[in-house]
Structure formats: C-alpha cells, structure tokens
C-alpha cells in the first residue's frame, strides 16, 4: 500500500501534456489555455469618456455657471479629431474618445444647453481628469492578461474576444474509454435478472471524465473472464489516451483486471493505495495509454476517479491546477478515521449564520452506499492514523466537480435538498 500523496505524485510524473490544438472562441469554454493571452492593444485604446456630457478644460469651469461654445461632437465609433481650444467644449458620449485639448468631462445632467445658439452652460465645476479613463489605464499593449494552464471560464471570454483571439490554443481533450467489468452487470436499460445488478460505474466515470474535459466512449460491459478482458483492454487502450476500468481489482477469485493487464505486458505503477474507500486502485501504462483500474464499488469509483484519473486528465490538457483544490471547513459531526489508510468521507458543505463553512458528514453505509453519496458535495479528508475527529475541529475537504452549478460554488443549493432522502416532498416516498 502506498500513501495517497505518493500515488498522486506517480500519476503526475507518468502523465504528459497532450499537444495543443486551436479552437474557435465560441467553443473555448472549459478548455485549458495552451498559450498566454497577450493584450494586442492598450485598454482603453484611447482616452475614453465615462459619461455622456461635454469634454472641456477644467480651468474653463472653475467658476460656474460657465458659458462655452460647442465646437463638435465625439460619439462612440466616431470621434472628433481636432484640437479643442480654451472656451470650447465638445459634446461627448460614453465610450467616445476625448478630444485633444480637453482634460475633463462634465456629465450632461450638470449642464444646460443654450437654445439654438451653439453654446452650453456648465453648471458645476469639475476637476481635471473627471470622467475620463486615460489610454492604457487598465491594460498596456503587450501585457499578459491570462496564462497558459488556466481553465477558460465564462468571465474570461470578454478578455479573449477583446484582444482578438478569434481562435484560442488549448490543450487537446484526452480520449477516454470507460469499461465496467463484472459478470453480474447489466446495462441500465435492462431489468436485472437473478444475481445481477445494473452497471452504474460506466455512467459515473463517463460523467466525471466529461466534466474533467475528456471526450468519452463508454464501452460494452465485460464479464469476469481474463481472456475476454485482455482482448477488450488491449483494443480499448490502443484506441484511447486513457482507459478507465472499474471492478475486478480486489482480492476475489474472479478479480482478473490486474492479471489481464500483467499478461498484456502493462507497466503497473501502483495497485494498492492506503485509501478508504478505494484501496485496490491500479494505475498502469499499456502501450501509449494510461490505464486506471478503479475498484467496483460505486463510491470508491467516485473517490478514486477524482483523486487519480481526474488528475491525469487535467495534466493531459495542460492544467496548472491538476488536482482538486482543498478547503478547510469546520466539522459538524464527529468522524472516524482509519489506522492504516487515509479516508475521504462523503459530506455536505454549508455555511452557518456566521458564514463559517461547515462540513456535515453524510450517514453512509460504506463504499457501496451510492444513494447516500448522491447528495455529496465534498469529501472530508481524515489523515491516516487519526482515530476520531471531533465536532468543531477544522478539517480538510475536497470538492469534486459534480455539476456546473456546483462549480459556481452553490453548495447551499445542494444542502437544501439533502434532507429529502426518502421523502421528495408531499406524499411521495422512495
Ligand atoms: P469488485 O471490485 O469487482 O469486487 O466489485 C465490488 C462491488 O462493486 C461488487 O458489489 C460489485 O457488484 C459492484 N460493482 C462492480 N462493478 C460495478 C458497476 N459497474 N456498477 C455498479 N456496481 C458495480
Ligand atoms: Mg467484480
């Protein structure tokens, strides 16, 4: 058994970034920047009016009302490109260039136009610089504004667009094949027969892998048969950057995934991690593909995917932050750790009245309790060897990305639904 941190380090060491590709800006959301984004213009590109009003010289309106001659108009997209002299003003709109010679803008509300005479009365004095954003005050041409390795989010799109990135270089999406193994499995569309269960791992892994930025193929179910496993694993590995299997990696008589990998000549980097849940996790390379052999239990799948496989998928795309970021929360109920393994226990995060982030451990029945896990928004990390952590203690929590809403930090939204297990509102019972 190797420590979790060592296993993650091995994943980082064995994973290389895929070549970059260029995508249209409209398709860039969620992709990882493979180039630094550099300003190709000053921002603003010219001295810009921040108000509708009159461009003037502050000295001309030191005593008010001041009557000044209107000599022109500067609109957004159509500036007034002459020298404005003392005693003159230029009518100006928000976003328009401030003419040379002007040093302030007085807003239209503080002026009164003199009917038909081509004059305006400025009713209040302004300081020089008022309502003008000077050229390059925000960004200078040549400045780096976003960095390679950052994930492109909605808030960044304006920056990319404004500096002319009609196409953006991003990390290529890894091609992931997902393969559930186990002779008991039937597809979700089937009614399980005697001794059978529906496969959920293929769907879980495919979902997490898509959220991590991969393109995913779900493969047909494979039974517990070494020769068949070898055939399917070899085929899938040859066709993908990453193969993620589930099941067949524990110590049972029919756990053949590892044997199949070994017989195919895969290089196995680790096969047991001091982790709860998720001890029998396998990480290997077969040909050019990385292979994650995740355990069969659905909760173990979620935990080990997010710790290991997700990390590889992010590195492949060139992400600067490849692992889930950790937060500190205050424990809302005692949790028990394990003597020889590091634990990642399902929890819900919420904030109390004072704004403190609380981690509420879910009551769950172990690594097969995927129904309790369905409400999880965070994993509480209990270090190896720590027996019990008391209510009120600070704990490290990881937040697996489970949906777009969650990525936007709406854990309260999910917490609100948490008590609904077994009772989805009026009269309906699970
Ligand atoms: P294994 O790791 O193959 O021993 O599986 C551990 C447990 O997870 C068993 O109860 C399996 O039935 C269950 N399991 C394995 N694969 C899946 C799957 N694809 N979907 C749901 N449960 C699974
Ligand atoms: Mg099995």
> What tens digit of pLDDT does each residue of 340-373 get?
999 999 999 999 999 999 999 998 777 778 998 9
Give the pLDDT confidence score for residue 424 in this predicted structure. Answer: 67
Q: Whose CA is nearest to atom 15 of ligand 1?
A: 296
Give the pLDDT confidence score for residue 426 in this predicted structure. Answer: 54
Condensed to tens digits (0 to 9), the pLDDT of residues 86-126 reads: 999 999 999 999 999 999 999 999 999 998 889 999 999 99
Q: What is the pTM of this model?
A: 0.91
Q: Which of 68, 72, 46, 65 is nearest to 57 (CA)?
A: 68
Share of the chain above pLDDT 70, in %: 94
CB-count burial class (<10 Å; 0-12, 13-18, 19+) for 378: buried
Structure tokens at 86: 């003392």
**What distance in angstroms lies between residue 374's CA and the mean position of ligand 1's atoms?**
17
**What distance in angstroms lies between residue 229's CA and the mean position of ligand 2's atoms?**
12
Distances (CA, A) of 57 to 45, 76, 120, 136: 21, 20, 14, 21
Q: Whose CA is nearest to atom 14 of ligand 1?
A: 296
The finding on whether 149 has its CB within 6 A of some atom of ligand 1 is: no
**What distance in angstroms lies between residue 356's CA and the mean position of ligand 1's atoms?**
38
The finding on whether 277 has its CB within 6 A of some atom of ligand 1 is: no
pLDDT band at residue 422, thresholds of 50, 70 and 90? low
pLDDT band at residue 419, thresholds of 50, 70 and 90? very low
Diameter of the chain measured on Cα atoms: 99
Ligand 1 atom showing the smallest separation from residue 224 Cα: 3
CATH of domain 48-133: 2.170.190.11
Give the pLDDT confidence score for residue 425 in this predicted structure. Answer: 63
Q: How far apart are CA 1 and CA 19, in angstroms?
A: 34
Ligand 1 test: best mutation among 229, 297, 368, 371, most atoms within 8 Å of CB?
A: 297
Give the pLDDT confidence score for residue 423 in this predicted structure. Answer: 58
Give the pLDDT confidence score for residue 430 in this predicted structure. Answer: 37
Would you say residue 259 has pLDDT above 70?
Answer: yes
Pick the CATH number of 326-404 from 3.40.50.300, 3.40.50.2300, 2.40.340.10, 1.10.1780.10: 2.40.340.10
Class in CATH terms, 4-19+172-316: alpha beta
The finding on whether 180 has its CB within 6 A of some atom of ligand 1 is: yes
Q: Which of 50, 127, 136, 56 is nearest to 96 (CA)?
A: 50
**What distance in angstroms lies between residue 253's CA and the mean position of ligand 2's atoms?**
9
**What distance in angstroms lies between residue 240's CA and the mean position of ligand 2's atoms?**
23
The finding on whether 367 has its CB within 6 A of some atom of ligand 1 is: no
Share of the chain above pLDDT 90, in %: 89
Is domain 25-40+140-171 given the CATH code 3.40.225.10 in the classification?
Answer: no
Give the pLDDT confidence score for residue 151 in this predicted structure. Answer: 97
Give the pLDDT confidence score for residue 408 in this predicted structure. Answer: 43
Ligand that lies nearest to the alpha carbon of residue 296, given by its number in the listed order: 1
Give the pLDDT confidence score for residue 429 in this predicted structure. Answer: 39
Residue 121's contacts (CB-CB under 8 Å, 6 or more residues apart) are 65, 66, 67, 68, 111, 112, 113, 114
Give the pLDDT confidence score for residue 389 in this predicted structure. Answer: 97
User: Per-domain residue ranges for the chain?
Assistant: 4-19+172-316, 25-40+140-171, 48-133, 326-404
Give the pLDDT confidence score for residue 179 in this predicted structure. Answer: 98
What is the mean pLDDT of the segment spanning 204-220? 97
Would you say residue 45 has pLDDT above 70?
Answer: yes
Ligand 1 atom showing the smallest separation from residue 247 Cα: 3
Ligand that lies nearest to the alpha carbon of residue 247, given by its number in the listed order: 1
Tracing tokens 């193969």 back to the chain, one arrives at 243
pLDDT band at residue 404, thresholds of 50, 70 and 90? low
Condensed to tens digits (0 to 9), the pLDDT of residues 290-320 reads: 999 999 999 999 999 999 999 999 999 999 9
Mean pLDDT of the chain: 94
Condensed to tens digits (0 to 9), the pLDDT of residues 366-395 reads: 777 899 899 999 999 999 999 999 999 999
What is the mean pLDDT of the segment spanning 204-216? 97
Q: How far apart are CA 120 and CA 71, in angstroms?
A: 11
**What distance in angstroms lies between residue 338's CA and the mean position of ligand 2's atoms?**
24
Q: How far apart are CA 330 and CA 326, in angstroms?
A: 13
**What distance in angstroms lies between residue 5's CA and the mean position of ligand 2's atoms?**
27
Give the pLDDT confidence score for residue 411 in this predicted structure. Answer: 46
Secondary structure of the chain in HEC code, one letter for each residue:
CECHHHHHHHHHHHCCCCCEEEEEHHHCCCCEECCCEECCCCECCCCEECCCEEEECHHHHCCCCEEEEEEEEEECCECCCCECCCCEEEEECCCCECCECCCEEEEHHHEEEECCCCEEEECCCCCCCCCEECCCCCECCCCEEECCCCECCHHHHHHHHHCCCCEEEEECCCEEEEEEECCCEECCCCCCCCCCEECCHHHHHHHHHHHCCCEEEECCCECCCHHHHHHHHHHHHHCCCEEEEECCCCCCCCCCHHHHHHHCCCEEEECCECEECCCCCEEEEECCEEEEEECCCHHHHHHHHHHHHHHHHHHHCCCCCCCCCEEEEEECCCEECCCCCEEEEEEEEEECCCCCEEEEECCCCCCCCHHHHCCCCEEEEECCCCCEECCCCEEEEECCCCCHHHHCCCHHHHHHHHHHCCCCCCCCCC
Distances (CA, A) of 350 to 204, 328, 353, 400, 409: 24, 12, 10, 15, 10
């Amino acid at each position: 058994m190797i420590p979790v941190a060592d296993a993650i380090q091995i994943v980082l060491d064995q994973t290389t970034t895929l070549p970059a590709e260029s995508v249209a800006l409209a398709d860039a959301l969620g992709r990882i920047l493979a180039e630094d984004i550099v300003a190709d213009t000053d921002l603003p590109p010219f001295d810009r009016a921040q108000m509708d009003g009159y461009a003037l010289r502050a000295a001309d309106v030191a005593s008010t009302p001041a009557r000044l001659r209107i000599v022109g108009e500067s609109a957004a997209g159509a500036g007034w490109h002459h020298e404005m002299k003392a005693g003159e003003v230029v009518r100006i709109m928000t976003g328009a260039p401030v003419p040379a010679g002007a040093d302030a803008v007085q807003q239209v509300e503080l002026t009164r136009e003199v009917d038909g005479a081509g004059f305006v009365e400025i009713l209040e004095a302004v300081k020089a610089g008022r309502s003008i954003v000077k050229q390059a005050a925000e960004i200078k041409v040549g400045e780096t504004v976003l960095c390679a390795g950052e994930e492109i989010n909605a808030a960044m799109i304006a920056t990319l667009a404004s500096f002319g990135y009609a196409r953006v270089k991003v990390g290529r999406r890894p091609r992931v094949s997902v393969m559930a193994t186990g002779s008991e499995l039937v597809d979700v569309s089937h009614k399980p027969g005697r001794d059978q269960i529906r496969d959920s791992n293929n769907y879980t892994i495919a979902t997490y892998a898509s959220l991590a930025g991969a393109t995913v193929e779900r493969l047909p179910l494979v039974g517990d048969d070494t020769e068949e496993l070898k055939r399917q694993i070899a085929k899938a590995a040859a066709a993908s950057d990453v193969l993620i299997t589930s099941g067949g990696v524990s110590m049972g008589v029919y756990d053949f995934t590892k044997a199949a990998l070994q017989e195919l000549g895969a290089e196995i980097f680790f096969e047991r991690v001091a982790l709860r849940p998720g001890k029998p996790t396998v990480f290997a390379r077969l040909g050019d593909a990385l292979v994650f052999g995740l355990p069969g239990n659905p909760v173990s799948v979620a935990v080990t995917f997010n710790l290991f496989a997700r990390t590889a998928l992010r590195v492949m795309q060139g992400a600067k932050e490849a692992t889930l970021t950790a937060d500190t929360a205050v424990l809302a109920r005692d949790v028990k750790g394990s003597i020889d393994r590091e634990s990642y226990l399902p929890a819900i995060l919420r904030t109390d009245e004072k704004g403190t982030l609380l981690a509420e451990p879910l009551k769950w029945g172990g690594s097969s309790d995927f129904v309790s896990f369905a409400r999880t928004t965070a994993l509480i990390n209990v270090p190896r060897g720590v027996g019990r952590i008391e209510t009120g203690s600070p704990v490290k929590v990881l937040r697996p990305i489970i949906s777009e809403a969650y990525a936007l930090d709406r854990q309260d939204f999910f917490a609100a639904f948490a008590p609904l297990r077994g009772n989805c509102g009026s009269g309906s019972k699970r």
